[in-house]
Amino acid sequence: MALNSKPSERSRHLGAASAEINVTPFVDVMLVLLVIFMVTAPLMTAGVNVDLPKADARALPGNDEPLSLSIASNGKIYLQKTEIGIKDLQARLGAIAGQKRDTRIFVRGDKSVDYGRIMQVVGEVNAAGFNKVSLVTETPPSAPKDK
**Are 118 and 107 in contact, with CB atoms under 8 Å apart?**
yes
pLDDT of amino acid 146: 47
Q: How confident is the model at residue 64 (pLDDT cuts 50, 70, 90)?
A: low
Higher-scoring residue by pLDDT: 98, 34 = 34
Q: Confidence band (pLDDT; 50, 70, 90) for 57?
A: low
Q: Tell me: the pLDDT tens digits for 80-123?
A: 888 888 888 888 888 877 767 778 888 888 888 888 888 888 88
What domains are defined for the chain? 47-135 (3.30.420.270)
pLDDT value of residue 61: 61
Contacts of 38 (CB under 8 A, 6+ apart): none
Is the pTM higher than 0.75? The answer reads no
